[in-house]
Structures are given as C-alpha cells and as structure tokens.
Amino acid sequence: MRTIKGPAIFLAQFIGDKAPFDTLEHLAGWAASLGYRGIQLPTDKRLFDVDVAADSQAYCDDIAGMLAGHGLAITELSTHLQGQLVAVHPAYDQLFDGFAPVPLRGDPAARQQWAVGQLKAAARASHRLGLATHATFSGALAWPYLYPWPQRPAGLVEEAFAELARRWHPILDAFDEAGVDVCYELHPGEDLHDGVSFERFLNAVGGHRRANILYDPSHFLLQQLDYLRFIDLYHARIKAFHVKDAEFRPDGRQGVYGGYGSWLERAGRFRSPGDGQIDFTAIFSKLAQYDYAGWAVLEWECCLKHPEAGAREGAEFIGRHIIRVADRAFDDFAGSGVDGAALRQLMGIQ
C-alpha cells in the first residue's frame, strides 16, 4: 500500500484579477501558505501556456522550479474546458463557445480542431513536466437525450459513443506516446458521467489503457450513485481524485432534477469539504486499501462558504484524512515463527 499524496488544490476556481489570485507565482505562494503541497494546474494562459510548454523544456523547467521553490509540485495539468469542446451537441454550441478563443467562436469545426490540438499539446507538456496523469472532461453528444423521453431512436446512444471514441482515440494515443493517463472527471453534462457510461466509452475505445477516471464523489452523491461501491468496481482505473463535498436533501417539491433551481435552492448542492454528507473517511480508507498512487486534490465549489475559507479549511481537512499506511501487519508481534514443514503438519499433510 502507498500513502496518498497531498494536500493539493485545483486552482481553476481561484483565478482572479487581484493578488494573490492573479498570477501562478502569487497563487503558489498563497497555496503553500495554507499548507498545500501540490496544485492541479489549469491550462489557462493567465497561469500556464500549454502551447509553449508542449515544445519548450526550458519553460516547463522554469514553471516546475518556481513551484518547487514554494514547496509545491504539479499533480496534473487540466484541460477540462478544452476536453468539453472535443464533443459538443449543437444545442450547446452558443453556451460553450466562450470556452474557445475569440477567433474560433461560431465555427464548431475549427473550435473542435483547436480543442484536439490543445489536448495533444497537454500530453507533450505533461511528459516534459514528468507527470503521470492528466485531468479533463469527455465532452458530450448524447447528453440532451439522457432521459428516455421522447423515446430515443434505436442506435442513437451507440452511435454517439462510437463517434466520441473516434474523436478521442487519437488523443488517447498521443497520451500513450507521452506515457500519461487521461483521467476523465465523470460529471453531469458529459457523456461520461457514471460507471455505465464510462464502460460504454471504454468498450468503444477498445479498453485503451490511457482511458482512466478522475474520481469526484460529489457528482455521484447528487446522482444517488453508491460512491463507495464505485471504488470497489473501478479502482484499477481511478488515477486522480477530487476532494469535493455535496449534500442531497430532497423534499416534497424537488429531488435529483432540482426543478431548474439555482445552486442555493437545489436539493442537491456542492459544499466545502466537511460541510456535506460524503463519507471521506471511508473514501480515503478504500483508496488506501486499493493502493491509489495519486494525489488528493481539493476542488472547491460551494454555494454558501467563501472560497478562501474553503481553501484554508480544505488543506487541513485533506491532511486529517490522509492515512499513513502501515509498513507491517499490526499483529506481527504475535507471529509464531512456524516453518513450512510445521505448516503442513498443522494441516495434517505428511
């Protein structure tokens, strides 16, 4: 068994215009001051230029060296927004256009081509940085048809996943060449949002060894999925981990779907770690049991608590839950020292 690495923090929700949230170095100093040891780094040009990093070892070394000066390591690069643009249903074209550079907006084909290029650049940059994992979204072609009404035509879901696989297979191959695992955050709004949809995709890409999972239990609680059993089923593919809490409090007026309410009004809401209903003690225990080799990364999203309070409390929360795994069995002191011949004798074997 290995001790989970951490605490780490995903920087995406903390980028701002004012110090200490305006530059990567300022954010690094802030995160380190809170006790974080790692950062999950979004490929946002305000912090990190993935196009430059893909082709410049010097740039990557400078970034890694600056972070090391603050006692920080990069856990993963993130291309959540670019991954979303690998596959966009036309119903969401206008809403997702804001994720692309201005010159590409209104041109879905060019936007997708750019997104694919960004993912491949992230593979090369991850390799230069010595990273083993990468965080992203899958995008979605079938999401508008999630609920089976109106009745879905036969073959629609199968063709959606076949097309998703066609788009992602070359990207997965690029990550394979770089020696980096792609960790899809299973998330509503993505075609990969639970175990069944992940299995569909994995089958469609021929069980590609680089197709893996970013485990975030908050999305599973809000789906009413057994997030502990999920670890038992998919631990071999879980290569990244977001520590994000949630609560689900249905009543006589709303449940999982939320009635189009705001985050504050929904039955299912994201919360700061420790403020929700997720059993993180059990999660950290299972991940330790299954020899999870990665980081525990805070992703802060809460409709009530201030983000700086969530970040401050999150470092302590993760540190408290990381299990320093045993290096020997607890009952070694009582070992009988019986040899092989004696073992056979105990079983009555001559």
Residue by residue, DSSP assigns 183-196 as EEE--TTSS--SHH
Tokens of 68: 């090391």
How does DSSP classify residue 226? Answer: -
- Rounded-to-integer distance, Cα 347 and Cα 156, Å: 59
Q: For residue 287, what pLDDT is reported?
A: 98
| Ramachandran angles phi, psi of 238, nearest 5° | -80, 110
Q: How confident is the model at residue 340 (pLDDT cuts 50, 70, 90)?
A: confident
- Positive or negative torsion for Cα 313, 315, 318, 323: negative
Is there a contact between 338 and 346 (Cβ–Cβ < 8 Å)? yes
Q: For residue 254, what pLDDT is reported?
A: 98
Does 331 score more than 80 pLDDT?
A: no
> Distance of CA 108 to CAs 84, 96, 98, 161, Å?
12, 10, 12, 19
- Rounded-to-integer distance, Cα 199 and Cα 92, Å: 25
- Rounded-to-integer distance, Cα 169 and Cα 215, Å: 21
Is there a contact between 297 and 10 (Cβ–Cβ < 8 Å)? yes
Q: How confident is the model at residue 333 (pLDDT cuts 50, 70, 90)?
A: low
Cβ burial 165-199 (10 Å sphere, 16+ → b, else e): bebbeebbebbbebebbbbbbbbeebbbbbbebbe
Does 271 score more than 80 pLDDT?
A: yes
pLDDT digits (tens, 9 = 90+) for 104-157: 999 999 999 999 999 999 999 999 999 999 999 999 999 999 999 999 999 999
Q: For residue 112, what pLDDT is reported?
A: 98
Give domain limits for the chain: 5-346
How does DSSP classify residue 88? Answer: B
More confident residue, 272 or 349: 272
Find tokens 């993935």 and name the residue. Answer: 50
pLDDT digits (tens, 9 = 90+) for 170-225: 999 999 999 999 999 999 999 999 999 999 999 999 999 999 999 999 999 999 99
Is there a contact between 268 and 221 (Cβ–Cβ < 8 Å)? yes
Residue 337 region by backbone torsions, left for phi larger than 0, else alpha for psi between -120 and 50, else beta = left
Does 332 score more than 90 pLDDT?
A: no
Does 335 score more than 80 pLDDT?
A: no
The residues, ordered by sequence, that sit 6+ positions from 159 with a Cβ below 8 Å of its Cβ are: none
For the segment(s) 5-346, the CATH number from 1.10.3720.10, 3.40.50.1220, 3.40.50.300, 3.20.20.150 is 3.20.20.150
- Which amino acid, 13? Q
DSSP calls for 135-184: EE---BSSGGG-S--SPPPTTHHHHHHHHHHHHHHHHHHHHHHHT-EEEE
Is there a contact between 62 and 77 (Cβ–Cβ < 8 Å)? no
The residues, ordered by sequence, that sit 6+ positions from 287 with a Cβ below 8 Å of its Cβ are: 4, 231, 235, 238, 241
- Which amino acid, 332? D
The mean pLDDT of 329-336, rounded to a whole number, is 70
pLDDT digits (tens, 9 = 90+) for 225-266: 999 999 999 999 999 999 999 999 999 999 999 999 999 999
Q: For residue 38, what pLDDT is reported?
A: 98
